Amino acid sequence: MYSRWSHLINVCNLSLHECGLSGINKISELAYDSLKARILTEYLLVKESAESSLIPVLIGAYAFEKPKGLEWYLQWMTEDAEKLMKLNAEWFINTALWQLLAMTANPYAHFDHWAGDIQQLVTKLNLTNPM
């Protein structure tokens, strides 16, 4: 994975520049910069880029290592879920939602107080019924 990071940084910086934002030096910067992370992810979703999974996976990993400051992801997912589902439902369900659930279940991060909001989200998006 580390061997791909220079490529990921290049993709991120090009995309951030196209969105009118400054670039990054390290991938980890995106975990704690909600504005860049959100804009970058939505931009990559519109472009149908494989790199759109970067932020959810990065946040899921950092939730085990440095969870303080990552609540923005939980808030973003619960507030903008419908918009993100419209951009790419498969990405939302198979990537972003799973990372959200992993964060909530993570015993080291103490995000379990989000469980009610996530249950409401799952109900609102009608994800409890088999398709």
| Residue 129, in any domain of the structure | no
> Is residue 130 domain-resident?
no
pLDDT of residue 4: 65
Sign of the four-CA dihedral 116, 95, 26, 105: positive
Cβ–Cβ under 8 Å, residues 15 and 24: no
Q: Confirm if 23 and 13 have CB atoms less than 8 A apart.
A: yes
For the chain, the domain total comes to 1
Residue found under tokens 């969105």? 19
In-domain check, residue 68: yes
Give residue 19's Cα distance to chain centre. 18
State the Cα–Cα distance between residues 53 and 45, nearest whole angstrom.
Answer: 9
Q: What is the pLDDT of residue 126?
A: 77
pLDDT at 2: 54
User: Considering the domain boundaries, does residue 131 fall inside one?
Assistant: no
Mean pLDDT by runs of 10 across the 131 residues of the chain is 72 97 94 97 95 94 89 93 93 92 81 78 73 53
**Residue numbers of the domain that contains 31:** 2-124
